[in-house]
Amino acid sequence: MSQLKMHRSVRTLVVLLSAVVAACTVPPAPPEPVAPAVVAPEPTHPACVPATANNPVTGNWLSKHKQKGVAGEIRVLFTLQADGTMAYTEQVKRPNKPSQGLNESGCWQASGDQVLLSTQESNGVVTEPGDPIYQHSYRILKLAGDKLELRTEEGLVYKLTRMSPGYRLPF
């Protein structure tokens, strides 16, 4: 066989093999469309309802007390705004140690002799709407001038003093 014929035969074989390989390969299927990830919406709390005009419970109320089994003084500040929003700050103040505390915010309502607090955020974390652990009811035992007494459902009594607007617990 001459070189020219052999060269043509090899070239023909290469062309045929390329055609066979091309015919046997299946182009990749386009990727399946990916549905966007379904993200559950953040839980939403209902809007706060403004307090009745001139509600005497509106304001900043501070309690300082000792509690059996707790070393140090417990300070509790209820901040009940006229727009229905509230802040609840609880702080344990111990000698020669930094304060430890709890900061909650949400809504409040007064109805009859009851004050209801609904926490929507606790230490910066949004709470689950309707979770009973964040719903607190207090019975008004006494309200006279700058003194307020509240009793929890568990029987703990807070003897509170009205503080100036904008008052915050010192750390």
Domains of the chain and CATH, by start: 59-163 (2.40.128.280)
- Say what the pLDDT of residue 79 is: 97
Confidence of residue 24 (pLDDT cuts 50, 70, 90): low
pLDDT in tens, 29-42: 777 777 677 766 66
Confidence of residue 19 (pLDDT cuts 50, 70, 90): low
- Say what the pLDDT of residue 99 is: 83
- Nearest-angstrom CA–CA distance, 124 and 168: 17
- Say what the pLDDT of residue 8 is: 55
CB proximity list for 148: less than 8 A, separation 6 or greater: 57, 61, 140, 142, 158, 160, 161, 162
Question: What value, to the nearest 5°, has the Cα angle with vertex 56 and ends 55 and 61?
Answer: 120
Question: What is the arithmetic mean of pLDDT over 138-159?
Answer: 95
- Say what the pLDDT of residue 18 is: 57
- Say what the pLDDT of residue 74 is: 92
Residue 73 has pLDDT above 60, yes or no: yes
Question: What is the arithmetic mean of pLDDT over 102-127?
Answer: 95
Q: Which of 146, 150, 117 is nearest to 51 (CA)?
A: 117
Better pLDDT: 86 or 43: 86
Residue 66 CA from chain centroid, whole number? 30
Question: What is the arithmetic mean of pLDDT over 90-100?
Answer: 87
Residue 48 has pLDDT above 60, yes or no: yes
This prediction has a pTM of 0.72
